[in-house]
Every structure is written in C-alpha cells, then in structure tokens.
Amino acid sequence: MRNILLVCAAGMSTSLLVQKMEKEAASMGHEGKIWAVSVDEINAHIDSADIVLVGPQIRYKLPKLKELGNEKGIPVEMINPSDYGMMNARNILEASFKILDGKGA
C-alpha cells in the first residue's frame, strides 16, 4: 500500500491528474491512496504520504518542500512537466514506484 500525495498551487489541476492516476493505479493493481492538496495544506497531509509529488507550476517551492520531506523521511519529487502536461498517469505512477522502491525516477 502506497500513499501518493500530489501538491500544486491550489490543488485543482492536480485533482484532475489524481482521477487519472487512480484509474491507472487500479489497472496496475495498486492499493493505496492518491490525493491532491494545495501547497498551503501540505503540513496537514505529509505524514500520511509515502511520497509527495509536486506540480511543475510550483517548482520554485521544490527546495523548501524537499527540506520538509527530508525532515520526515518522505521523498519529494517534481512531476515530470511533460507527463504532467499530458496527464500521463502511468508514467507518473511508474516514476513514483521506482522512487519508492529505491530505484530512482
């Protein structure tokens, strides 16, 4: 069971991606939770996450979010902008699983 938290400016654009990722995850046999929040809400959610994926539109916040993730032992990575733009849920999930399995993105 892997819990994937997506973070963006308002949590709205990533909500669309969450829907696609949930469908794709189900087809891959993934069990776990995928959800999206705004960057302002991350502190209330990060402890429930196994990985945090950051929307490219807030890449400027990545260093600070990585710092928070390091404190909690939770990987924080930016979603590949191309995959984000194309809403390529499978690529995003596969990259997440590689990170969680310690194989990098």
Active site (annotated) includes residue 101: no
- For residue 100, the SS3 value is helix
Of 4, 6, 8, 21, the active-site residue reads: 8
* Cβ atoms 47, 72 nearer than 8 A: yes
Q: Show which residues are catalytic.
A: 8
